[in-house]
Amino acid sequence: MQHFWLSILSGLSLQLVLPCKAEEGLEFPNFDGKDRVLDINERNYKKALKRYDLLCLFYHEPVPANKGLQKRFQMTELVLELTAQVLEDKDIGFGMVDSQKDAKVATKLGLEEVGSVYVFKDDRVIEFDGELSADTLVEFLLDVLEDPVEIINNAMELRAFERMEEDIRLIGYFKGEDSYFKAFQEASERFQPYIKFFATFEKSVAKHLSLKMNEVNFYEPFMEEPAILPGRPLSEMDIIEFVNQHRRATLRKLRAENMFEIWEDDMDGIHIVAFAEEEDPDGYGFLEVLKDVARDNTNNPELSIVWIDPDDFPLLTTYWEKTFKLDLFRPQIGVVNVTDADSVWLDMSNDEDLPTAEDLEDWIEDVLSGKVNTEDDDEFADDQEDDHYVLEDSDESPGPDEEDDEDD
Amino acid sequence: MQHFWLSILSGLSLQLVLPCKAEEGLEFPNFDGKDRVLDINERNYKKALKRYDLLCLFYHEPVPANKGLQKRFQMTELVLELTAQVLEDKDIGFGMVDSQKDAKVATKLGLEEVGSVYVFKDDRVIEFDGELSADTLVEFLLDVLEDPVEIINNAMELRAFERMEEDIRLIGYFKGEDSYFKAFQEASERFQPYIKFFATFEKSVAKHLSLKMNEVNFYEPFMEEPAILPGRPLSEMDIIEFVNQHRRATLRKLRAENMFEIWEDDMDGIHIVAFAEEEDPDGYGFLEVLKDVARDNTNNPELSIVWIDPDDFPLLTTYWEKTFKLDLFRPQIGVVNVTDADSVWLDMSNDEDLPTAEDLEDWIEDVLSGKVNTEDDDEFADDQEDDHYVLEDSDESPGPDEEDDEDD
């Protein structure tokens, strides 16, 4: 590890407490300067795998020659060091794998995406492709430490389960911890912590969910009714295949823990992106309309809308406002080209009311058919500051030709 | 500003993106090395106040001689610099005020608590006494930029309003933007962004809330029924006084934006603290019980429970586990002495079921009467690893004497 930099930067905490507080009980950790992150190589990787409950490896490009990039690299090391310090008592090992120097080890360990963090738990590998901050990584690792299947015992816990509409969830009804439950548990380990698995052994809970014995329900985010996995009892592979086929949701919320993974999973190079603050009355209303649209179109495999709550990403909000030329104090929906971040947005600025589900569906149809796209208007780029698509409003205008709809 | 340090640390972002991502659209900002934070002094403070919509000043102790503390101080500067960079287009000024060197300016500006950030908006001063991270500060400042009163226009927005049970909220019904509304608005500015103010001009919305014209309702967090502010129409001072009298809620959630302020607002040196993950079935259930208790005891001015959701503070979770000797994968409730962080916790480890509202009320009664406290058992500290208070369980034991309740 880069001792020099670490000692310069010791005293860093990504969150700072000031020494003048007299009260105790809220002390954010400061990096104590102790090296905890291993330099993984051919000699030590097997030992490291054996030694810890979890092994967390950052797979990185060779340390750059450029000074600016070097500093950035050292800050990443520091994020790992602080994470290791915070989780010191949890039996988690931390290490760095250089994609060039340690290419052989990387191959043996199956590391593929440079810039990702890989977590080894028992005989599984879990990829973390989220925001590389100590907060997000600590929360992720604590989630990985928990049991992959959570048991629902009573009506109160069932209510908690039913409130988690943002998550992909599965729930199975089993007699007890028998072989069918074990198959479900084995499957759950493949998706932990991204997809949540629940089980119940209680008849009353199963009845409320209309679950038969050994049956498993799959809940897509924001949908009211679950899908029932075909067949029962189900093998581990039955469950894994079903989840793999259905995991790209019609409406999915961007989260820090897997934001890059979601962004890479684009639809032919584009994302339909909706910005809406759930805590804001406007944003809440828009989100409800969006959920209706998603419910109506849940069987369309071409459609997947990424919902971003700006409140979850304060540091990105103004970046998005600049890049997409948007006001994020209001809800917005648009199409983003992920290669160049070019975008076109539905114009909602003149409306007192938000678009209806029907309006949105018309617009989405135009996006999917290619009628609304990020390229068409680039030749007129000088004429207009940003790209907006205006909804046809039959009440106010005498009905322009369809061809005019795309212009601002 | 400390050029040397800033240039060493340039390239820092508290969240890092790695250069290998091919997609665009999710670029976390890196500090660009440009100085934006002003060194505020007697010559420039008036000009700074005039020049910006918002002026954001960090009131700090003199730069320490100790090297470790110096680094910490420089990281704080960096948090401010990054915040200033991210909000560059928002007409917000940033500055530092040294409590010793700039003592006169501090007095003129009314700065009191060293370590706090003060935000000047029009003729008001807003104190930020939260987590000093770029995330939290950016989000806070964006909130301060919004209108202090949000208008509720329709049934959908009303639903959003009704869902915000964690916040202190006021809502008034007015004919329009008349003098009564203006008084409400003036009052709202005193509490922005900590207390949320809403208004409606719609009869249907007012009817749903049983609001009469010019009437204002006050919603305490987690309570089902609002309090009605006495008298109508209300003056600015009527509203301010009522809010000041009622702002310490029976159950309040710890948030990054004002965590130190809440922690300082202890009850005779102690806090009743409940840890519960809302996303977890166990935690959700416990929280529901806690809300029942709060509702039953909302008129007891002696009682204020601080609810902490560990998910909101990943970097503090293991610190709390160590300091309080707790397992935070489970819900917990206890009493914390804020002077030394000594604590005693309700023992729930042997119970399959969570305590009932009645159990909790008995325990809280014992806390408020001093029967359960953090000092009593200190003489036995050698005998036991941590301090737990076991609930009397009448089903299993033949009923011990009341005096025995406190023992483990």
ipTM of this complex: 0.86
From the CB of residue A155, how many other CB atoms can be counted at a distance below 10 Å?
12
- What are φ and ψ of residue A100, in 5° steps? -100, -60
Q: Closest residue of A to B166, CA-based?
A: A279
Q: Chain A closest CA to B313's CA: distance in Å?
A: 8
Nearest to B192 by CA among B253, B256, B143, B133: B143
Q: Chain B closest CA to A322's CA: distance in Å?
A: 9
Establish whether the linkage from the previous residue to A233 is cis, with ω within 30° of 0: yes
pLDDT at B218 over 50: yes
- Under an 8 A CB cutoff, do B284 and A25 touch? no
pLDDT at A398 over 50: no
- Please report where in the chains the tokens 């890989």 appear, as a residue: A118
Residue A38 CA to residue A125 CA, distance in Å, equals 18
Which residues in chain B have their CB less than 8 angstroms from residue A266's CB?
Answer: 23
The tokens for A212 are: 């038969």
Which residues in chain B have their CB less than 8 angstroms from residue A288's CB?
Answer: 156, 159
Nearest neighbour of A26 by CB, restricted to B23, B87, B260? B260
pLDDT at B377 over 90: no
- Under an 8 A CB cutoff, do A156 and B285 touch? yes
Q: Chain A closest CA to B27's CA: distance in Å?
A: 7
Which pLDDT score is estimated for A388? 62
- Under an 8 A CB cutoff, do A60 and B18 touch? yes
Laid out side by side, the sheet with B305-308 consists of: B251-253, B305-308, B270-275, B332-337, B343-347, B388-390
Nearest neighbour of B281 by CB, restricted to A19, A88, A152? A152
- Under an 8 A CB cutoff, do B86 and A60 touch? no
Query: For chain A, how big is the Rg over CA atoms in Å?
Result: 24
Nearest neighbour of A11 by CB, restricted to B68, B139, B340? B68
Q: Closest residue of B to A7, CA-based?
A: B68
Which residues in chain B have their CB less than 8 angstroms from residue A90's CB?
Answer: 318
Q: Closest residue of A to B69, CA-based?
A: A11
Residue A72 CA to residue B197 CA, distance in Å, equals 42
Which residues in chain B have their CB less than 8 angstroms from residue A329's CB?
Answer: 146
Give exposure, B252-264, as e/b (b: 16+ Cβ within 10 Å): bbbbbbbbbbbbe
Secondary structure of residue B36 in the 3-state scheme: coil
Instruction: Give residue-wise pLDDT tens across range B238-261.
Output: 999 999 999 999 999 999 999 999
Dihedral (C-alpha) B160, B166, B168, B173: value to the nearest 10 degrees?
20
The helix/strand count (H/E) of chain B reads as 13, 16
> Mean pLDDT over residues A290-318, rounded?
95
Sort B381 into a burial class: Cβ within 10 Å, 0-12 / 13-18 / 19+.
exposed
Q: Closest residue of A to B320, CA-based?
A: A25
Q: Chain A closest CA to B335's CA: distance in Å?
A: 12
Nearest to B259 by CA among B133, B142, B164: B133
- What are φ and ψ of residue B63, in 5° steps? -55, 125
- What are φ and ψ of residue B387, in 5° steps? -105, 115
Which residues in chain A have their CB less than 8 angstroms from residue B280's CB?
Answer: 150, 160
Which residues in chain B have their CB less than 8 angstroms from residue A72's CB?
Answer: 11-13, 16, 30
Q: Chain B closest CA to A106's CA: distance in Å?
A: 17
- Under an 8 A CB cutoff, do A76 and B8 touch? no
The conformational region for residue B11 under phi > 0 = left, psi -120 to 50 = alpha, else beta, is: left
Instruction: Give residue-wise pLDDT tens across range B323-348.
Output: 999 999 999 999 999 999 999 999 88
Residue B194 CA to residue B198 CA, distance in Å, equals 13
- Please report where in the chains the tokens 């944003």 appear, as a residue: A283
Which pLDDT score is estimated for A404? 42
Q: Chain A closest CA to B368's CA: distance in Å?
A: 20
Share of chain B above pLDDT 70, in %: 86
Which pLDDT score is estimated for B352? 67
How far apart are the two ends of chain B, measured CA to CA in Å?
55
Sort A89 into a burial class: Cβ within 10 Å, 0-12 / 13-18 / 19+.
exposed
Nearest to B360 by CA among B283, B262, B299, B274: B274
Chain-centroid distance of CA B160 in Å reads: 21
Nearest to A392 by CA among A406, A380, A371: A406
- Under an 8 A CB cutoff, do B263 and A27 touch? no
Which residues in chain A have their CB less than 8 angstroms from residue B16's CB?
Answer: 72, 75-76, 79, 132-133
- Under an 8 A CB cutoff, do A30 and B323 touch? no
> Mean pLDDT over residues A177-206, rounded?
97
Q: Chain A closest CA to B400's CA: distance in Å?
A: 30
Instruction: Give residue-wise pLDDT tens across range B40-59.
Output: 999 999 999 999 999 999 99
Return the sign of the alpha-carbon dihedral for residues A67, A68, A74, A76. Answer: negative
Return the sign of the alpha-carbon dihedral for residues B130, B133, B139, B141. Answer: positive
* Residue to test with chain A: of B318, B322, B323, B343, most A Cβ within 10 A: B318
What pTM was computed for the model?
Answer: 0.88
- Under an 8 A CB cutoff, do A72 and B16 touch? yes
Residue A58 CA to residue A60 CA, distance in Å, equals 6
The tokens for B366 are: 């014992």
Local confidence band at A402 (pLDDT 50, 70, 90 cut-offs): very low
Secondary structure of residue B170 in the 3-state scheme: strand
> Mean pLDDT over residues B27-31, rounded?
86
**Cβ neighbours of residue B35 closer than 8 Å, sequence gap 6 or more:** B1, B3, B6, B81
- Under an 8 A CB cutoff, do B336 and A25 touch? yes
> Mean pLDDT over residues B345-355, rounded?
79
Secondary structure of residue A241 in the 3-state scheme: helix
Nearest neighbour of A315 by CB, restricted to B28, B72, B161? B28
E-strand ranges in A192-241 read 196-200, 216-219, 227-228
Q: Closest residue of B to A288, CA-based?
A: B156
Residue B21 CA to residue A264 CA, distance in Å, equals 9
Which residues in chain B have their CB less than 8 angstroms from residue A11's CB?
Answer: 68-72, 75
Q: Chain A closest CA to B408's CA: distance in Å?
A: 24
The tokens for A378 are: 């680039």
Which residues in chain B have their CB less than 8 angstroms from residue A285's CB?
Answer: 154, 156-157, 160
C-alpha distances in Å from residue B332, one per residue of A28, A105, B23, B317: 20, 43, 43, 13
The tokens for A41 are: 């190589």
- Please report where in the chains the tokens 């208008």 appear, as a residue: B151
- Under an 8 A CB cutoff, do B69 and A19 touch? yes
> Mean pLDDT over residues B71-77, rounded?
85
Nearest to B273 by CA among B263, B282, B264: B263
The conformational region for residue B110 under phi > 0 = left, psi -120 to 50 = alpha, else beta, is: left
- Under an 8 A CB cutoff, do B25 and A323 touch? yes
Nearest neighbour of B138 by CB, restricted to A72, A133, A315? A315
Residue A177 CA to residue B392 CA, distance in Å, equals 32
Which pLDDT score is estimated for A68? 79
Instruction: Give residue-wise pLDDT tens across range A32-57.
Output: 889 999 999 999 999 999 999 999 99
Instruction: Give residue-wise pLDDT tens across range B384-400.
Output: 445 566 655 444 444 34
Secondary structure of residue B175 in the 3-state scheme: coil
- What are φ and ψ of residue A111, in 5° steps? -75, 130
Return the sign of the alpha-carbon dihedral for residues B293, B299, B300, B304. Answer: positive
The tokens for A394 are: 């039959």
Task: Give yes or no for a contact between A125 and B357, defined as CB atoms under 8 angstroms apart.
Answer: no
Nearest to B119 by CA among B198, B48, B180, B58: B58
For B140, the enclosing helix (H) or strand (E) is helix B134-145
Which pLDDT score is estimated for B279? 93
Nearest neighbour of A20 by CB, restricted to B13, B30, B115? B115
Q: Closest residue of A to B58, CA-based?
A: A18
Which residues in chain A have their CB less than 8 angstroms from residue B323's CB?
Answer: 25
Residue B345 CA to residue B76 CA, distance in Å, equals 35
Nearest neighbour of B132 by CB, restricted to A16, A69, A271? A16
Which pLDDT score is estimated for A4? 33
Concatenate the DSSP letters of all residues of A27-95 into one string: ------S----EE--TTTHHHHHHH-SEEEEEEEPPPPSSHHHHHHHHHHHHHHHHHHHHTGGG-EEEE
The tokens for B239 are: 């509203």
